[in-house]
Amino acid sequence: MRHTVSMARGWESKSVESQIELAQERQSKAATPAKTPEQIALEEKRAELEFERTRVLHELEAATHPRHREMLQAGLRHLEDKLAALDQKL
């Protein structure tokens, strides 16, 4: 019986703890200013470039032909340049 009561109290404290964390998250989200449509678009573009960069890296790992590897490396440099330029805007 004692074990059950202590477990119940443990769950109760976890529940209270999670409610406090949730309230703090809501407060911090409310305190951050809303993003402009331009900021959202830039972040979406960055996510697309990161996805493409990951794809190129995977292809580069599997590529065996020297010409194909050169092409992929050039594409990777191009994507990294675009990401660097985009990061300056963010």
* Res. 31 pLDDT band, cuts 50 70 90: low
CB of 57 closer than 8 Å to CB of 79? no
pLDDT number for residue 77: 97
- Which residues, 6+ apart, have CB-to-CB distance to 66 below 8 Å? none
Lowest mean pLDDT across 17-26, 54-63, 68-77: 17-26
> Would you state the structure tokens that stand for residue 15, as one six-digit string?
């529940």
pLDDT number for residue 2: 52
Q: Over range 19-41, report the average pLDDT.
A: 80
Q: What amino acid is encoded at 27 in this protein? A: Q
pLDDT number for residue 72: 97
- Closest to 75 in 3D by CA, of 50, 51, 53: 53
Looking at the chain, the number of H-run helices and the number of E-run strands are 3, 0
Q: Of 79 and 15, which is predicted with more confidence?
A: 79
Q: How far apart are CA 81 and CA 86, in angstroms?
A: 9
pLDDT of 64 above 60: yes
pLDDT of 1 above 60: no
